[in-house]
Structure 1
Amino acid sequence: MLYYLFEYLDKTLDISGTGVFQYITVRSALAFMLSLLLSTIYGKRIIQFLQRQQVGETVRELGLAGQNEKAGTPTMGGLIIIFATLVPVILFAKLHNIYIVLLTVTTLWMGTIGFIDDYIKIFKKDKKGLKGIFKVVGQVGLGLIVGSVLYFSPAVTVRQDTGKINIFRVTTENVIVQAPVEEKSTVTTIPFFKNNEFDYAELLAWTGDGYQKWAWLVFIPVVIFIITAVSNGANLTDGIDGLAAGTSAVSVLALGIFTFVSGNIIFSNYLNIMYIPNSGEMTVFIAAFVGALIGFLWYNSYPASVFMGDTGSLTIGGIIAVLAIAVRKEMLIPLLCGIFLVENLSVVLQVSYFKYTKKRFGEGRRIFLMSPLHHHYQKKGYHESKIVTRFWIVAIMLAILSIITLKLR
């Protein structure tokens, strides 16, 4: 909202200095600082409110060191992340921007699913929470919305051949250009390859002429799969203090770099990458989101004063997925979100191998001492703070490698 106020003050009343709000970098910095303050200052009040409501975590008997001490710790802390993200976005972002609308809907949608799940676990005393089928339906529903908007909305366009862009006048973030026409496209980026653009529509080329108009049959299911997979991956990673929030902050920060350069015609031209008009506005949302995650770590680091619960983990996964898809970097998710991937795979491998060996040998066997993977290391005797720190280091390495793909192809 402040963006529109300062735009009015600048263009109508011509008040000196108010034009600074036109710059994404300024608004992103303000969004980050405000979200950090909100999550640290008001986070404590939210935790106290959750304590008064007796929103305590029920700990399963897993035989892990320090696990029983966590019983009764408030959960639903994802409310802190959602609150500290959306308030700065409402204040500093262009609310009519299609990408900001999508990210806001994603935050509220996934936050609601996670909240219902946590509510059932805590107040209905059902440890299983929301039935898996309803979670999947919710994730698929969001995927349908995001996929349909990205495919059909005229506000979502790309310019692929940035090498033909001629810049006549340059300021910090506003330029006058002569460039190829913006177009609707289902093209995405394949990392580590030269001429690394791939169009999902090409998968239907075998159907004959006019296959491009049916590209949504491929694109929307891909969006649904990615949102479902990443949100579940974030959910599994939320197992020990600070793990999900810390690794997510690193991944989102890397996505912020991709978003800024892809939405900036100067940098996209220099790096020879796909230019996505209006996508740079997502940088404001990302700055607020990273600030909220870091602020949440103030209370979630070991020993945690609050857990994010599914309210937070599902929201985090959904936002990361939508960001990656919107900026056409979804094929980088296995690398950028490698921690999520490994955590997911550890569960799949553990369950599959256990069922296979039980069927073949009459006795189930395990690959890991316990899954997800972070619990395996806990079983081996590592302190959870050491596990979290090392996972953060790995996440930073993966993020740097992901950023290098801007030129490594």
Structure 2
Amino acid sequence: MLYNLLVPLADHLSILNVFRYITFRTAYAAITALLITLLIGPYAIRRLQEMSFNMKSKGYEPDRHKEKEGTPTMGGIIIVGSAVFSCLLWADLHNAYIWITLFVFTAYGFLGFVDDYKKTILKNPDGISAKAKFFGQLVVAVAATAMIMQVDTSGNSTKLALPFFKNVVFELSYFYFAFAVFVIIGSSNAVNLTDGLDGLAITPSVIAFATIGILAYMTGHVKFADYLQIMYIRNAGELSIFCGAMVGAGLGFLWFNAHPASVFMGDVGSLSIGGALATVAVIAKHEIVLAIVGGIFVIETLSVILQVGFFKMTGGRRLFRMAPIHHHFELAGWSETKITIRFWIISIILALVALSTLKMR
């Protein structure tokens, strides 16, 4: 909004030229979202607790999780609210990619809200059915993918780039649509599976948004894209502002979600974060890189798939003590803090690997 209001006045007041720069607006989007989250966080947490939006144990987690019962959940509302406000304040509202990303972000947030509401207020530990949740995710992902391909005029909308290799690009044609939908839904569910310990999901999400934000900026800059030999997507750089807002909102939420957590993000946070992260990656044509920078989410998801598959194949034997894999380490005797911090370290390493793909071509 500030961009649209102030940039036209820059010809008369040169100091306003600073609003033309994506880097400036990204930084302040992060600061704005951080401050809003820190300011409204305590009030929001009290209200969530007063309204009985408290976590209920599903019964199959490690015993130490019973101590978390009664902690407010649905804290993802704080993340969604602060990030959306900050993005609308600092982004170019004429940019279609911003609106597509916000659509996925808020739609998945609403889906998660309904799920959390059923778990807490209606006391249904399973929330909405798996089929209903998947159908909602599918509808949003299909609509978003269709809009992305409609907006993209670069001629690259159905192409898939392979990182680490120079000029290795696959033309997927109609198959790309299904692939993009899979990435968005898969990422949303992967973050949801990871959100099982204090601070475990939010910090890798912050790291991932910071990394994907840099990649989106490079993709949307014609000179950088040409120099780095990556696909140029016109107007994709503006997504850096959304990513900056998510970094700020995520860091602010971590203030309250660090062990011992005062609030959990719930599905309203995890589903929206994962969906929005994938949407930015799809627009910026870094879908494979997303699997690298979001490696923690991939590992958590694979651990569940392997556990279920191994259980069925062997007639009841388990590959891990418990899945997702962070529960395996809990039952192995690791403290919650040790698991979380080690996963954070891995996320940082994976982010550096993802960024290295810009030059290793």
- Compute the TM-score of the two structures, normalised by the length of structure 1: 0.86
Structure 2 counterpart of 1:336: 293
Amino acid at match of 1:140: L
If you compute each CA radius of gyration, which structure gives the higher value, 1 or 2?
1
Match status 1:286 vs 2:284: no
> What pairs with 1:112-261 in structure 2 (closer than 5 Å)?
112-153=110-151, 156-158=152-154, 183=155, 185-201=157-173, 215=174, 218-261=175-218
Counterpart AA for 1:8: P
Residue 184 of structure 1 and its aligned partner are, at CA, apart by 5.6
* Alignment length (residue pairs): 361
1:369 to 309, 321, 339: 321
- The residue aligned with 1:9 is 9
Q: 1:256 to 1:63 in 2, by over 3 A?
A: closer
C-alpha distance in 1, partners of 2:314/2:158?
A: 43
1:195-225: CA deviations, max 9, x gaps? Answer: 2222112xxxxxxxxxxxxx3xx12211111
- Output the CA distance in 2 between the equivalents of 1:252 and 1:115: 22
Which letter does structure 1 place at the counterpart of 2:79? Answer: I
For 1:255-286, what per-residue CA distance to the aligned partner results, in whole angstroms no more than 9, with x for missing partners? 01101111112212221222111111001110
2:104 alignment partner AA? T
Matched, 1:19 2:17: yes
Cα distance in 1 for partners of 2:157, 2:308 equals 39
Equivalent position amino acid for 2:230 in 1: I
| Aligned residue number for residue 270 of structure 2 | 313
Q: Which amino acid aligns with 1:406?
A: L
- Structure 1 range deviating more: 81-90 or 347-356: 347-356
User: Contact 2:114 / 2:128 at 8 angstroms: preserved in 1?
Assistant: yes
Higher alpha-carbon deviation: 185-194 or 339-348: 185-194
Give the corresponding residue for 1:273. 230
The within-5 A match list for 1:24-39 is 24-39=22-37
TM-score of the aligned structures, taking structure 2 as reference length: 0.97
Q: Secondary structure at the match of 2:170?
A: strand
Contact 2:61 2:327 survives alignment (8 Å): no
C-alpha displacement of 1:8:
3.2
Q: CA, structure 1 residues 142+283, in 2 after alignment: closer, same or farther (shift >3 Å)?
A: same
Deviations 1:66-114, CA, capped at 9 Å, x for gaps? 3222110000000011011011111110112011011110111100000
Post-superposition shift, 1:65? 5.1
* 1:263 and 1:280 in contact (8 A); partners too: yes
Deviations 1:15-66 (A, max 9, x none): 2311211111111111010001011111111111101111110123346353
CA distance in 2, matches of 1:19, 1:272: 29
What is the alpha-carbon distance in structure 1 between the residues aligned to residue 37 and residue 187 of structure 2? 24
- Alpha-carbon separation, structure 2, partners of 1:348 and 1:31: 37
CA contact (8 A) 1:147 1:219 kept: no
Identity of aligned residues (%): 42
Q: Which residue of 1 is the match for residue 46 of structure 2?
A: 48
Q: Is 1:397 aligned with 2:349?
A: yes
Alignment RMSD? 1.3
Q: What is the alpha-carbon distance in structure 2 between the residues aligned to residue 273 and residue 61 of structure 1?
A: 48
Aligned residue type for 2:239: M
**CA contact under 8 A between 1:114 and 1:315: conserved in structure 2?**
yes
CA distance in 1, matches of 2:120, 2:312: 31
Paired residue for 2:359? 407
The Cα shift of 1:5 comes to: 1.5
Contact 1:268 1:275 in 2 (8 A): yes
Report the equivalent of 1:172.
none
Of 328, 340, 357, the match for 1:388:
340
Q: Is the 8 A contact 2:4 2:93 kept in 1?
A: no
The 1-side partners of 2:73 and 2:192 are apart by: 14
CA deviation string 1:169-208 (max 9, x = no partner): xxxxxxxxxxxxxx4642221112222222112xxxxxxx
Q: Which residue of 2 aligns with 1:89?
A: 87
**SS across alignment from 1:188:** strand
Matching residue of 2:72: 74
Deviates more, 1:393-402 or 1:184-193: 184-193
